[in-house]
Amino acid sequence: MLSVKTLGGAVATQARRPRGLVPEIVTALEADMQGGRLLPGDKLPTESALMARFEVSRTVVREAISRLQAAGRVETRHGIGTFVMAPRVAEPTFRIAPEDFATVADVISLLELRISLESEAASLAAQRRDEASLASMGAALAAFEAAIHADSDAVPSDFQFHMEVARATGNRHFADLMTYLGTMIIPRTRLKTAGDAPEGRLAYLERVHHEHESIYRAVRDRDAEAARAAMRTHLANSRERLRRAQTSENSAAH
């Protein structure tokens, strides 16, 4: 039998399993940490004390401590001892990668996220914009118009316009998120939305340009509600165009 003595002196008797001693010791020590009997910064008992407590060999104790080290629960300071570490903070899990744009449904999902974020960004931009940010938005508009008449998909200037709106908020987090997402937020980078538009590429892009102009005018006029509505309309129109395309594809498949 394996007797496991708790820090408080109580004894729990468990069946000795030749290959299960290390996990049992790891579990018991983690329970001590979670229960507050071993706090971050506390020094673990010596190897000899742990050998006596768990009635195991030095090799088993060292293997258990090695596993705790690998899990980031303890650290050994040579010549001093082994100390409990604070629990690791979970790493951020939010991520939008190119593979998340594999289908029309994926692109629609991102547009729904953009509608909530960029509509508010446009409203803030209208309230906070200065002449420099307005000039940058105007330059992006001009570049978009030039691109669509040069047989281009106008993706860089399209993204730049949305980026300048985000920057005009004066809140760096909006611009940081746009930078993180990059040009892949523009549906045309993932799908042939312009080429497949019923009205043709040029008419499609000119409509997008007019929607951008509506946003620009509202920001220029410092009309926060109009700017929010114009951005929402612009992105919602993109979403609806994609939904119609998705419905057509599904109908053709059946």
Beta bridge partners of 76: 82
| Residue-range domain boundaries for the chain | 2-84, 98-253
Per-position pLDDT tens, the chain of length 254: 445 554 544 434 344 554 578 999 999 999 999 989 999 999 999 999 999 999 999 999 999 999 999 888 999 898 899 999 988 766 566 677 766 777 788 888 888 999 999 999 999 999 999 999 999 999 999 999 999 888 887 889 999 999 999 999 999 999 988 888 887 777 766 555 555 555 677 888 899 999 999 999 999 999 999 999 999 999 999 888 888 766 655 555 55
Q: What span, in angstroms and rounded, lies between the C-alpha atoms of 87 and 107?
A: 37
Half-sphere exposure (CA, 13 Å, Cβ side) for 61? 17
> What pTM was computed for the model?
0.61
What is the 8-class DSSP label of residue 182? G
Residue type, 55: E
Q: How far is CA 210 from CA 21, 85, 88, 158, 160, in A?
A: 71, 58, 50, 12, 16
| Sequence-separated (6 or more) residues with CB below 8 Å from residue 74 | 44, 65, 68, 82, 83, 84, 85
pLDDT at 18: 43
CATH number for domain 98-253, candidates 3.40.190.10, 1.25.40.20, 1.20.120.530, 1.10.3720.10: 1.20.120.530
Architecture of domain 2-84: Orthogonal Bundle (1.10)
**pLDDT by residue (tens digit) across 197-224?**
556 778 888 999 999 999 999 999 999 9
pLDDT for the residue numbered 1: 41
For residue 174, give both structure tokens: 């909006």
